[in-house]
Chains A and B, each alone.
Chain A
Amino acid sequence: MSCENTGTIEKDAVMLRRPKFDRSKLCVKCKLNPGNVVIRHSVFCKTCFFPLVTTKFKRGLDPYINPKSDASRRKTLKASGNLLLSFSGGLGSTVLIDLVNQCYLAPFAVTEDGKPKGGKDHPRNGRVWKKVTVCYVETSSAYSGARDRLEDVRQVVNQYQNVEFIPLRIEDAFNEDWWTQNGGRLGDSTLRVELSNEDLPLSAERSPKSQLPREALKQFLSSLPTQTAIITAIQNLVRVLLLHTAHVTESSHLLLGTSLTSLSIAHISSIAQGGGFTVREEAQEEWAPDLPIAGSSLPKTGQIQRKNIRVIRPLRDVGMKECGIWAWWRGLHIVGREMSKHGKQEIGSLTRDFIVGLEADYPSTVSTIARTCAKVESKEEPAGATICIGLHKLTIARPAQRDVQGWKSRISIRSYPFDLTDPHLPLHTKSSSIVPPLGASHSSGVPADPLATLTPHLCYLCHTTLTSRSSRGTAGNGALPQSGESVPLPAWVASRLYKGSVSSEPDQPIGEIWETTKMDEKDMKNVIAEYLIPDE
């Protein structure tokens, strides 16, 4: 008997592709109109599509507007502060600003005589946020040959009434004037870091304005070890600029235009780069800033205003396809955002290509990624005091692992060209380094020297971003940072780094920098001279 069923076996081995839509071409909602769009295998007509997206958007935002989060949407919505919208010029943020305008800023329904329905005091007719600001961070300085889109963005934002516009540039991250104008405090020196050494030794530069912010940005980015690190650093600088702007504008909410697809990309990309410890925070988080607001009088210690800022992604249930269709049918103009032409091999781009390709054939799987990540929790308790002050979570108190360096040394196999028993070796060569919490004291009671190294204050992701080199060579200009060569750090790092060293004197502004320097014997004698008993 011949093997007649070979063909059948081969046929069974091929996985059948699921049809693009279930059942008929009629809209699944109204069941009357012919469908216009397929969203995760369900067909919707144009009329039912708009309420579908609006409902998802409001479901992702309404429960988090009132200071006390409440799933019930029957209560009047009233935020405790203003609203900051992050606008990148991309599809998601363009849809976000349109939805916010339509759902929360559009003129109230009026009666025939032109008065608001239900009276002006009706809760429905009140403003949810007193002030709405749109912030755009121009990133063209970070990419060679990139087009400046600031004026295009300004035109888009100007279409919306009752919205203020704050344009920033990414180099503001290194602009001490911007930092001080926005409530930051500086010492009389700028911090620099040596990226060629895994301990990331810090040094202070006494002439803080010797370098233009744009030059400092370029030097910082070109010193990063991989293209992935450069893209991640740009994203994180933008993120921190937005957070500070939210604080300065006294906002209680910062909204980002991250769609479901973008969120899945962000999750996978972050995990691939070592950010698995903070998967949940990637979707939603809350920041309690401890900085004064610009223009206000200097706060005294203990009088810092702590108004939480909720970072929310209201489009986290709305896929990229829905955003694209929404933008087209609403006639929205997409300015576009800068995408690196040189970073095709960086983790973010590779992840985006993978997820977008996956979404074309298996859209529900992309949704599953985001929903699963929302439930992921670290088995290990976060180290309460170890708050990363690096690039990734620069100012936002996201949890960090305990003893990151110790863990890193346990999972790595390394060989060193020197004797590991030498007590003067760098920190990272020790089998398990104990990471002092930010601003903590050593057991001897002497304050930890915050100017020593940056590494103990970084999470795994930030440390990897700054130090992990690609086996295929370097990014940027192709030159590895030389030993002893240091690069500037963003303006806010110093104040965060020294936060634990803030003077307890009530009249001292926060952020005063203490620097520990070794004195020679003669100087020490001079300092205590008046207490010394003279030699007889």
Chain B
Amino acid sequence: MSKSDTVSLKVEFGGGMELLFSNQRSHKLTIPARVPLDNGTSGLPADTTDENSKPADISYLIHHLKDHLLKERLELFYENGTVRPGILVLINDTDWELEGEGSYILKDRDEIIFISTLHGG
């Protein structure tokens, strides 16, 4: 796989979210640049075309984190194909709501931050 076939990312967790991810706050990841439309994380099938694949986006990253990095309590991170309400996502220090949320196409060296607000007052 050449370098352009992958995307290197820095993923950080805050607000107590790191406890679900081996208590490690910062992770460096490399994910495929093209991924299945259904966000499956076991790799692209051999007959991959542009029609049955898409560029890696935040939705895929969430699935990737759920399947490969999350260590416990899935329900505190993932719900209905996206992050659970109450988890903030920053893309390069900017609210993901300004960047199209899950449909934001990931670029090389992007910094994605997940912050939990579920620990209340």
Task: Please report A residues at the B interface, Cβ cutoff 8 Å.
Answer: 20-21, 25, 34-38, 43, 46, 88-93, 256-259, 261-262, 265, 315, 320-321, 323-325, 327-328, 334-337, 339, 352-353, 356-357, 359-360
* A320 to B16 alpha-carbon distance, docked (Å): 14
Task: Please report B residues at the A interface, Cβ cutoff 8 Å.
Answer: 14-16, 19, 85-86, 88, 90, 93-95, 97-98, 101, 113, 115-121
The answer to whether A334 and B119 touch (CB under 8 A), given A38-B98, A325-B88, is yes
The answer to whether A327 and B85 touch (CB under 8 A), given A20-B97, A46-B93, A321-B117, is no
Query: Which of B19, B93, B116 makes the CB contact (< 8 A) with A36?
Result: B93
Contacts of B93 in A (CB 8 A): 36, 46
Query: Which of B14, B19, B119, B120 makes the CB contact (< 8 A) with A328?
Result: B14
* A444 to B118 alpha-carbon distance, docked (Å): 56
A43 x B115 contact (CB < 8 A): no
Name which residue of chain B comes closest to A325, CB basis: B88
* A361 to B15 alpha-carbon distance, docked (Å): 21
Contacts of B113 in A (CB 8 A): 328
CB < 8 Å A-B pair total: 98
Contacts of B119 in A (CB 8 A): 89-91, 334, 336-337, 339
* A258 to B118 alpha-carbon distance, docked (Å): 13
B121 x A356 contact (CB < 8 A): no
A259 x B121 contact (CB < 8 A): yes
Task: Name 5 interchain pairs, CB-CB below 8 A, sorted by A.
Answer: A35-B98, A88-B121, A91-B117, A324-B116, A325-B90
Minimum CB–CB distance from A478 to chain B (whole Å) comes to 24
Name which residue of chain A comes closest to B75, CB basis: A344
Minimum CB–CB distance from B62 to chain A (whole Å) comes to 14
The answer to whether A257 and B121 touch (CB under 8 A), given A91-B15, A336-B16, is yes
Query: Which of A34, A320, A335 makes the CB contact (< 8 A) with B86?
Result: A320
Query: Which of B88, B101, B120 makes the CB contact (< 8 A) with A321?
Result: B88
* A58 to B49 alpha-carbon distance, docked (Å): 57
Query: Which of A35, A92, A325 makes the CB contact (< 8 A) with B120?
Result: A92
Given contacts A324-B116, A336-B119, 17 further A-B contacts (CB under 8 A): A43-B98, A88-B120, A90-B119, A90-B120, A91-B121, A92-B120, A257-B121, A325-B95, A328-B113, A328-B115, A334-B119, A335-B16, A336-B16, A336-B19, A337-B120, A352-B120, A357-B85
